[in-house]
Amino acid sequence: MISWNFYESWVVQNWQYSVPTLAFALVLWKVLSYQAPQFEECDEEVTKVAPQNQTKKKLSEEEYIGEFQDDSYDEVDTPALEEKPHIPFYGATVILDSDPTKFYEIMNDRRSVRMFSDRPIDYEIIEKCVQTAATSPSGAHTEPWTFCVVQDALLKAQIRDIIESEELENYERRMSRRWVTDLKPLKTNFVKEYLTTAPYLILIFKQTYGMMENGRKKQHYYNEISVSIATGILLCALQAAGLSSLVTTPLNCGPALSNLLKRPKNEKLLVLLPVGYAADDCTIPDLTRKSIDEVLVKY
Ligand SMILES: Cc1cc2nc3c(=O)[nH]c(=O)nc-3n(C[C@H](O)[C@H](O)[C@H](O)COP(=O)(O)O)c2cc1C
């Protein structure tokens, strides 16, 4: 009978050749069998409620709707909104024009402004624009927004200090070279003079959850999308009122700004908009917008 001894085999005796060869073969196999992640054309809808005897399906980040219920949330059997009979609705009653061109012209006129005049603006105009933003739709009508309007010069200077010191870090260390390079045509840097020259700063916070009257938490579904839509409506309202603004997302400044404005811990800063009239010597990047054919797909 032929007996085979593993320790005396060629593979073991010549381990200095066989081990690297096997390692190389393993790496090669891994490389050849690697499949690049495929772009998913359509995400599976995961709005189903898991039956009670099944564990909840984990939602991917894209489908993330807000904090999940835990014991600190209100009990699930009482809706957050009062249950009332529905009322009739006959569609839009206040319209600009049956031709949407006018509104397009108003919005096509909007540009981001980084050089503001200190020309004063009535607070009532800003208030009305914010009231317009607050007509926005929101996930399950949770209205998860807080608009902080800052006019006080000292507070604006403190906001500028916080943002400029973080932005210096951002531009010098935190942002990738690619990012800094892509911003070059916009000529932005860590100096944000507009934070003290613009008559108003509007800091828009998303409420990641709400509070019920009984002190328990209320779920705020899709709060970031809801607040982003409200921000879009605010931009439209400001533009229609003849004002200029700039959407800014000051990286890493959220906690310090929340602290400065004494915001509660369920509120997270989403964007900050300086608002005012453009300075007389204001310049803006020479940008063009995509054509309708590039952005609209007709079916
Ligand atoms: C989500 C978002 C974040 C932005 N963040 C900044 C920012 O932090 N600083 C800034 O100067 N501009 C910021 N912008 C403004 C864009 O640079 C600007 O909208 C873009 O260049 C197009 O120019 P337009 O607004 O004049 O059409 C931001 C815009 C958006 C929508």
Atom of ligand 1 nearest to the CA of 250: 8
β-strand partners of 200: 275
Atom of ligand 1 nearest to the CA of 287: 23
β-strand partners of 146: 205
Tens-digit pLDDT profile for residues 86-99 = 999 999 999 988 78
pLDDT at 59: 61
Task: Tell me which H or E stretch contains 226.
Answer: helix 223-240
Task: Tell me which H or E stretch contains 124.
Answer: helix 123-133
pLDDT confidence bin for 31, thresholds 50/70/90? confident
Ranges 45-49, 77-81, 91-95, 196-200: which has the least confidence? 45-49
The Cα 212–Cα 226 span in angstroms is: 19
Distance 232 CA to ligand 1 centre (A): 12
Q: Which of 112, 191, 235, 282 to mutate to test the pocket of ligand 1 (most atoms within 8 A of CB)?
A: 112
Is residue 13 lining ligand 1, measured as CB closer than 6 Å? no
Is residue 189 lining ligand 1, measured as CB closer than 6 Å? no
Q: What is the pTM of this model?
A: 0.81
Tens-digit pLDDT profile for residues 60-82 = 655 556 666 667 776 777 888 99
Tell me which residue of 132, 140, 133, 130 sits closest to 222, measured CA to CA: 140
CA distances from 193 to 67, 138, 160, 161, 188 (A): 37, 34, 8, 10, 11
DSSP assigned state of 20: H
Provide the 10 A C-beta neighbour count for residue 207.
22
When comparing pLDDT for 2 and 261, which is higher? 261
What's the longest Cα–Cα distance across the chain?
A: 103
Task: Tell me which H or E stretch contains 190.
Answer: none
